[in-house]
């Protein structure tokens, strides 16, 4: 009965897309779905409207209310325009930045969005071609805009596209603006969308913003002298066909690195990502061409940015000379270790400096901060929450770095989203600093483990696509709440944090409040042996994520392999306990 009711609802919704307000191609696609005996595709495309999650609007491209197309993008932009005109009424000319990445339809969606904003009397600064997401964030602040959008689906597969919405501080939209924009978007009908732009209100921007941005990025270099000594550091870089190609090689050059080798086949702008299975720098396969080049030229470091150049993946040689990937937790750890250690060494550290990590990111970062007496803050997943911490302390305390396990890092405060342009440049400096001491990036990581303790982090993604998947994910979270585990991996659970109720419960059943800005559908379990488990549904993809961190012993620099093997066994036990 429930399925019949759902089918009736989606059919009525889809039939509205057969009106002349929609173009012929869209109508034909919807008609095909309606006439198909198998209604699975129809339901997937229309059972809901795309919603803003931790990364904004994101979905598969195609016809339907639950797909990325000119109408869902148009409704989002019209809703944003309506909200901006309400929020900033009487404050003079409202302006926005519009950017995009390399994906199929990205330029088209960006130009349509620019037209809609301008048709609503809003001035648009439209980038002349693809640009990194962090530059869009920078441009909003630099140009004094009230908002901005970037058309990108980040590291998602090629069939996806997305829409990141930013506010006047250059950060992705937070409450109350996120829900208020959704309310405005939900009011928009197809007839409300003003597709006919006002060209007089659209200004094309490009190199003039690039130059200022790159200059600002260069200002965060901590030890320029070490770069001068190691300017021949051999770097291999790949943008994975994306926006990093426009600025990251230039940024490395500005910083003083003269021996940068780009993977030429992946320097080609292409939304089909022909040389990789998935354009995700978390995946070893995505770095395979870069590592092959690194072996050929005996490079010091491999770095890769995702399609919108806000995340960086890296690989380096281990103590046996084999190329190994550095994971997202290790990446954030290395960056913050270097920033803290070398700000102290160069006399740049101030008493009011602070760093930020997300609650699912390695606790070793807290160990580094505590030992060096640096304030560290925990926040929710998504860089908008790190940006919120920067905003709250603006003018009072200085943000010096923050990261998350999903390969995002931000070393500066003039951008309010993760930034692969500055991260790649700073990574090269860290490698130069290590090489100056006869060490590698791998050696630095081993030194961190020896000084601050060893941990192994593993993320398990349980993918559940579509309407049925969303229901399964909801049921899994409800079951974890109703039946919390007493032990995980053989160790008793000593603390449970439920960010939906904002309550922490210890082993004795005593409760305390969690100090967070709002509720979030996240559960955390801490065990007596130091294991941390975080469980949350993804805000941008159809999956439930399990973040596992286990502690271990590493008595010497050569003990990494044995410590990792022991940790892997512990992770297996944890997964067995959780049924994943």
Angle between helices 70-87 and 177-187 (to 10 degrees): 120
Angle at 294 between CA 292 and CA 298, to 5 degrees: 125
> Which one from 95, 113, 137, 154 is the annotated catalytic residue?
154
Task: Map residue 428 onto helix, strand or coil.
Answer: helix
288 tagged catalytic = no
Strand partners, 204: 126
Q: Which string of DSSP letters, residue by residue, matches 312-355?
A: EEEEEE-TTS-EEEE-HHHHHHHHHHHHHHHHHHTT---TTEEE
Taking the C-alpha atoms of residue 555 and residue 449, their distance in angstroms, rounded to an integer, is 9
Of 250, 241, 163, the closest CA to residue 213 belongs to: 250
Residue 329 near residue 457, CB atoms below 8 Å: yes
Contact 202, 126 (CB under 8 A): yes
* Nearest Cα to Cα of residue 519 among 498, 535, 533, 539: 498
Nearest to 538 by CA among 458, 462, 456: 462
Task: Indicate left, alpha or beta for 409 from its phi (over 0: left) and psi (-120 to 50: alpha).
Answer: beta
The single residue listed with the structure tokens 């805009």 is 145
Q: How many helices (H) and strands (E) does the chain have?
A: 18, 23
302 CB contacts (<8 Å, ≥6 apart)?
Answer: 236, 237, 238, 287, 290, 291, 294, 314, 315, 316, 323
Q: Alpha helices of 125-281 — where are they, by DSSP H?
A: 133-142, 177-187, 207-218, 224-229, 248-255
CA distance 240 to 288: 11
Q: Which residue from 314, 312, 304, 294 is spatially nearest to 273, judged by alpha carbons?
A: 304
Burial status of residue 279 (CB atoms within 10 A of its CB: 0-12, 13-18, 19 or more) = buried
Q: Give the position of tokens 């209100």.
A: 201
**Which residue has tokens 């990446």?**
331
Q: To 10 degrees, the CA torsion angle through 356, 362, 366, 371? A: -130
Strand 235-238 to strand 260-262: parallel, antiparallel, or no bridges (unpaired)? Answer: parallel
> Can you give the three-state secondary structure of 405-421, one letter per residue?
CCCEEECCCCCCCCCHH
Active-site residue set? 154
């Amino acid at each position: 009965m429930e399925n019949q009711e759902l089918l009736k609802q989606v059919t009525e919704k889809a039939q509205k897309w057969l009106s002349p307000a929609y173009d012929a191609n869209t109508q034909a696609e919807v008609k095909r779905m309606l006439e198909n005996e198998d209604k699975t595709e129809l339901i997937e495309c229309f059972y809901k409207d795309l919603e803003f999650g931790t990364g904004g609007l994101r979905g598969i491209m195609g016809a339907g209310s639950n797909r990325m197309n000119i109408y869902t993008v148009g409704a989002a932009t019209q809703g944003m325009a309506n909200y901006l005109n309400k929020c900033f009424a009487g404050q003079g000319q409202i302006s926005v930045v519009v950017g995009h990445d390399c994906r199929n339809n990205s330029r088209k969606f960006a130009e349509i969005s620019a037209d809609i904003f301008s048709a609503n009397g809003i001035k648009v600064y439209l980038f002349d071609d693809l640009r990194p997401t962090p530059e869009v964030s920078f441009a909003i602040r630099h140009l004094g805009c009230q908002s901005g959008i970037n058309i990108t689906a980040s590291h998602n597969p090629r069939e996806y596209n997305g829409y990141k919405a930013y506010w006047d501080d250059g950060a992705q939209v937070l409450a109350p603006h996120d829900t208020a924009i959704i309310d405005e978007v939900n009011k928009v009908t197809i007839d409300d969308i003003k597709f006919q732009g006002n060209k007089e209100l659209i200004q094309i921007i490009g190199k003039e913003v690039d130059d200022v941005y790159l200059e600002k990025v260069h200002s965060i270099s901590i030890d320029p002298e070490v770069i001068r000594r190691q300017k021949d550091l051999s770097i291999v870089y790949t943008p994975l066909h994306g926006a990093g190609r426009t600025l990251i090689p230039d940024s490395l050059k500005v910083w003083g690195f003269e021996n940068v080798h780009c993977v030429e086949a992946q320097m080609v702008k292409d939304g089909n990502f022909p040389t990789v299975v998935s354009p995700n720098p978390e995946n070893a396969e995505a770095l395979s061409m870069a590592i092959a080049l690194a072996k050929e030229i005996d490079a010091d470091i491999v770095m890769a940015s995702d399609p919108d150049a806000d995340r960086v993946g890296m690989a380096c040689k281990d103590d046996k000379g084999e190329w190994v990937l550095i994971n997202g937790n290790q990446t954030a750890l290395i960056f913050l270790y270097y920033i803290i250690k070398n700000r102290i060494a160069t006399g740049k550290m101030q008493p009011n400096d602070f760093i930020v990590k997300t609650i699912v990111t390695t606790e070793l970062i807290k160990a580094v901060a505590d030992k060096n007496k640096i304030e560290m803050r925990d926040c929710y997943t998504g860089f908008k929450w790190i940006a919120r911490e920067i905003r709250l302390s603006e003018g009072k305390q200085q943000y010096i770095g923050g990261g998350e396990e999903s390969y995002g890092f931000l070393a500066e405060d003039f951008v309010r989203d993760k930034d692969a342009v500055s991260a790649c440049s700073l990574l090269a400096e860290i490698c130069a600093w290590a090489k100056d001491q006869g060490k590698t990036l791998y050696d630095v990581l081993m030194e961190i483990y020896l000084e601050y303790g060893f941990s192994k982090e593993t993320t398990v993604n349980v993918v559940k696509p579509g309407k049925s998947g969303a229901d399964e994910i909801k049921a899994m979270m409800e079951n974890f709440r109703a039946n919390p585990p007493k032990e995980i991996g053989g160790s008793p659970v000593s603390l449970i944090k439920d960010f939906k109720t904002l309550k922490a419960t210890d082993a004795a059943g005593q409760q305390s409040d969690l100090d967070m800005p709002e509720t979030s559908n996240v559960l955390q379990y801490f065990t007596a042996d130091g294991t941390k488990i975080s469980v949350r549904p993804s805000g941008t993809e159809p999956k439930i994520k399990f973040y596992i961190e286990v502690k271990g012993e590493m008595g010497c620099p050569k003990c990494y392999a044995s410590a990792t093997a022991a940790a892997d066994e512990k992770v297996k036990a944890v997964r067995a306990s959780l049924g994943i």
